[in-house]
Copies of this chain bind each other. A is one copy, B any other.
Amino acid sequence: MSSSDTPGPRGPYAKGVQRRQEILDQTLEVIESRGIDGASLRAIGEAIGVSHAALRHYFSSREALLVEVLRQRDQESVRAVEHLPGVFDRLTASANDNVREPALVTLYTTLLGASVESGNETARDFFSARFEQARTDFATLLRDELAASGRHSDADLDQVASLIIAAFDGLQVQWLLDRRIDIAGTLRLLERVL
């Protein structure tokens, strides 16, 4: 990500920050109404009332813009859930939140798929860091949870963390393709691996 994606070292200028947020919000709205393919820079610009070139004053590429939308909502999503005590309670809550925002799940899935192609370094960096962080966090949480309840598991908790994240992402994709999939219920099965 380049410096044009974040406010400069002299601090954010109020108008610029506001405009930047407006772009992020409108981008998600355009995605909700016209799909991700329909969310071209021209379409987003039109929804705001500026030219597509103006958007690149705030985001270095369309990819960077979409990743930023996801990053912001992702942070909110994490914050909305971190007060819950157990790992699986958090997973269930996240799954239930996401089911109410299919456009966001679609954006997540699409960007994740694109991130493994060369040329999408912005998305790749985002997801690499996100997975790294999530693996560490889950492993730590599981360790604490087991210790607090006096239980013990012979499973590699880093692998369990990996597995939980993989299952979450994979189930979301299956759910997008077939709404009969019960993400939260299926994730509960993972409690048995401990």
Q: Which residues of A contact B (CB under 8 A)?
A: 35-37, 106, 109-119, 124, 127-128, 131-132, 155-156, 159-160, 162-163, 165-171, 173-174, 176-178, 181-182, 185-187, 189-190, 192-193
Q: Roughly how many angstroms separate A155 CA and B189 CA in the complex, as a whole number? A: 8
Q: Roughly how many angstroms separate A113 CA and B123 CA in the complex, as a whole number? A: 13
Q: Roughly how many angstroms separate A114 CA and B147 CA in the complex, as a whole number? A: 42
Q: Roughly how many angstroms separate A111 CA and B128 CA in the complex, as a whole number? A: 19
Report which of B111, B115, B163, B185 forms a contact with A159, defined as CB distance below 8 A: B185
A153 smallest CB distance to B (angstroms): 10
Give every chain B residue within 8 A of A159 (Cβ-Cβ). Answer: 182, 185-186, 189
